[in-house]
Amino acid sequence: MDEDLKKILEKTANTIRQLSMEAVQKANSGHPGLPMGCAELGAYLYGHVLRHNPKDPSWVNRDRVILSAGHGSMWLYSCLHLAGFDLSLEEIKRFRQLHSKTPGHPEYHETPGVEATTGPLGQGVGNAVGHALGLKILETKYNKADHAIIDAKVFCLAGDGCLMEGVSNEASSFAGHLCLDNLVIIHDDNKITLDGPLEQSSSEDVAERYRGYGFETYVMDGNNLESIDEVMTKIRENQTKPVFISCKTIIGKGSPHKAGSHKAHGSPLGVDEVKATKEALGLPAEEFYIPQQVKTFFENKLPKQKELQATWQKKFDDWAKLHPECAENFRECNSRKIPEDLELTLKKLNIPNPISGRVASQAVLEVLGDKLPFLYGGSADLSGSDCTMMKQFPLISPKNFQGRNIKYGIREFGMATIASGLFQTGMFIPYVGTFFTFSDYMRNAIRLACLSGYHVIYQLTHDSIFLGEDGPTHQPIEHLAALRAMPHLHVVRPADANEVKGAWLSMLYYNSPSVIVLSRQNLPTLVETAVPFKEGVGRGAYILKKEKSKPDFTLFATGSEVALAMDVAKSLEKQGKDVRVVSMPCFEIFEKQDAAYKESIVGGNLGKRISIEAGVSQGWFRYIGRDGIPICMESFGLSAPIGDLANEFGFTVDAILDRILTGK
């Protein structure tokens, strides 16, 4: 390594230490250990190795850095500030304060240069795998012999906690299977966890495990710039597999009394220890001090980084002229624009009647695949059951990324984090599928997607007790209520093939996560659901059957229970009752409607209100009131044929009539 470069990177590393420990101390909250221990790594990555442009953080061919160990956020914020991203020193000083750009854990869209929302340990590894997979897909689609326009790498910094969490194992195993040769996972191997020494809870050989996954492994001294340079140079020059680096560091490096201890992990060092650390490192007493040499070093890099992107842009423009069809496809994926005629296209799609929700969705997906080049799908080893396969496209496989279907294996949690990473590349709308009850495995990844606004779609099938004989282990009960409780998530449970079409439109139009919940069993396609999107699913709830005068009963239902509600209404009418039936495929969309529309659907005197849904009752009382009757599940299911389950749990016309007419 050039001696002058080494000296400025050493100074940069100490600057990262000073900014980090002082920001944590000022906030009286945070984790100084990782930023101080990984300071040389940050200086090397942002000061030397990364091919990016801080003035255009969304440049598609940028190298990415994902901090999976999100508690060490001040490491990332310090690096981003020094590198010239739009993150001021004032924001560094406002670490963990209300509405700052430096929240306690990195958040996507909140801070320029942050590639993923991280903090729940291990998920950043999955996001990094998703980025790497997305870039490999783009390489395959767009690189030509005369022009390679995509060749970026993904660097992921993960701690011991990240690598203990099961989700990182799922994602890493998958990355090794696909041989993602653009992925570099850097293990902050400091032998310390929040509670104490690592040896108290783990004794495995992590690198050996990664070799088993199919990674090439290295060891480097993370506090020695020459060691870092030696390993990184090898990787940049000749990477043929995903790489795992055991990066040996000292947590809290520089702190005289807390370095190498869990005491540096999750708490401020303390005023006296900050002072002692600055003295030990030869740092000035001035708070948040940045040496002019460091400022000048990064300022001088910016024109070169802009030129790097400008050179790429010229290469891209030349490529676009030579390959206009590829260029148009690239622009479509980059914009992810939904065609204006998509509703009309889906309306023309002829779907058999009756049909299960899952099979109807697959028919829709195959049309969407042809219309939307940025739509990529996958499943947790269930594509034949959850019907997520776009049959006209091949599978993605090891070293072959030409397909549009991804077999994630039995890795629900990992799958969901990888899908988030695919979205983060800026070129895909991913969807993933599994059985509804297994959404519990994915829940925390779905939560982070909602927090971040990732446009990811989750196709969840086998949606109720009516999947039948597989029994209560596979029958969702509380899952609808649990997902509806999550902010920014659209949960759509369509009643039939018509509503499945509307559900897909709603999920594509909504630029945040959505769930489509689908039946295993066949459902009749109702004449009443054949309405324009903006009058039906696009409203979240709409009247399927209007009362003649003043309703004696109003029935609210979703999914497979909508047809049941219509049958109940017919029976009530035979008894001289006036009935309204409301289909409510999506609570969240309905709540976004104007007050007048909501009043027209659920307001006023609607008689006795009844909800019919094969799940728990939570969430329904805001529509049916305290005196309403929820026809719901109050226990787990049973293993039996569908008809027997309907009788056992009261989801028949006669059982519902008995309840609502007696008021029980």
- Tens of pLDDT along 539-553? 999 999 999 999 999
pLDDT score recorded for residue 399: 87
Q: Does position 310 have pLDDT exceeding 80, yes or no? A: yes
138 is in an annotated binding site: no
Q: Are 588 and 491 in contact (CB under 8 A)?
A: yes
pLDDT one-digit tens code per residue, 313-351: 999 999 999 999 999 999 999 999 999 999 999 999 999
Range 219-247 average pLDDT:
97
The token duo for 102 is: 């430096």
Q: Can 3-305 and 541-662 be said to share one CATH topology?
A: yes
385 is in an annotated binding site: yes
Q: How many contiguous H segments (helices) and E segments (strands) does the chain have?
A: 25, 20
Q: Does position 91 have pLDDT exceeding 80, yes or no? A: yes
pLDDT score recorded for residue 326: 96
Helix (H) or strand (E) holding 333: helix 324-335
pLDDT score recorded for residue 439: 98
Range 140-164 average pLDDT:
96
Pairing, β 192-193 against β 196-197: antiparallel
Cβ-in-10-Å burial (0-12, 13-18, 19+) of 25 comes to buried
Which residues pair with residue 492 across a beta bridge? Answer: 516
479 is in an annotated binding site: no
Residue (of 592, 566, 579) closest to 653 by Cα position: 566
CATH number for the region 3-305 comes to 3.40.50.970
pLDDT score recorded for residue 663: 78
Q: Does position 367 have pLDDT exceeding 80, yes or no? A: yes
Q: What percent of the chain has pLDDT over 90?
A: 99
pLDDT score recorded for residue 270: 98
Q: What is the DSSP string of 608-653?
A: EEEEE-SS--TT-HHHH-TT-EEE---S---SS-HHHHHHHHT-SH
The token duo for 640 is: 């039996």
462 is in an annotated binding site: yes
Beta strands in 408-526 (DSSP E): 429-435, 457-461, 490-492, 514-517, 522-523
pLDDT band at 638 (very low <50, low <70, confident <90, very high): very high
pLDDT score recorded for residue 75: 98
**Separation of alpha carbons 373 and 332, rounded Å:** 7
262 is in an annotated binding site: no
pLDDT score recorded for residue 639: 98
Pairing, β 514-517 against β 457-461: parallel
Range 639-656 average pLDDT:
98
Task: Tell me the one-letter amino acid at 495.
Answer: A
pTM for the predicted model, two decimal places:
0.98
Question: CATH classification of 541-662, choosing from 1.10.1200.10, 3.30.460.20, 3.40.50.920, 2.60.120.260?
Answer: 3.40.50.920
How many CB atoms are closer than 10 A to CB 329? Answer: 15
Q: Which of 165, 412, 528, 547 is catalytic?
A: 412
Q: Are 563 and 526 in contact (CB under 8 A)?
A: yes
Range 260-275 average pLDDT:
97
What are the φ and ψ backbone dihedral angles of 155, each rounded to 5 degrees?
-110, 130
pLDDT one-digit tens code per residue, 426-450: 999 999 999 999 999 999 999 999 9
Catalytic annotation on 412? yes
pLDDT band at 97 (very low <50, low <70, confident <90, very high): very high
CATH superfamily membership of 341-523: Thiamin diphosphate (ThDP)-binding fold, Pyr/PP domains (3.40.50.970)
**Separation of alpha carbons 24 and 30, rounded Å:** 5
Q: Does position 664 have pLDDT exceeding 80, yes or no? A: no
Q: Are 63 and 152 in contact (CB under 8 A)?
A: yes
How are the residues of the chain apportioned to helix, strand and coil, as percentages rounded to the nearest 5?
45, 15, 40
Give Cβ neighbours of residue 4 (< 8 Å, ≥ 6 apart): none
What are the φ and ψ backbone dihedral angles of 596, each rounded to 5 degrees?
-65, -40
pLDDT one-digit tens code per residue, 441-491: 999 999 999 999 999 999 999 999 999 999 999 999 999 999 999 999 999
Range 396-416 average pLDDT:
97
Q: Does position 621 have pLDDT exceeding 80, yes or no? A: yes
**Domain residue ranges of the chain, discontinuous segments joined by +:** 3-305, 341-523, 541-662
DSSP class of 45: I
**Separation of alpha carbons 71 and 35, rounded Å:** 9
Residue (of 417, 414, 420, 412) closest to 441 by Cα position: 412
pLDDT band at 146 (very low <50, low <70, confident <90, very high): confident
Mean pLDDT computed over every residue of the chain: 97
How many CB atoms are closer than 10 A to CB 56? Answer: 13
160 is in an annotated binding site: yes
pLDDT score recorded for residue 481: 98
Beta strands in 417-561 (DSSP E): 429-435, 457-461, 490-492, 514-517, 522-523, 542-545, 553-557
331 is in an annotated binding site: no
17 is in an annotated binding site: no
Helix (H) or strand (E) holding 156: strand 154-158
Q: What percent of the chain has pLDDT over 70?
A: 100
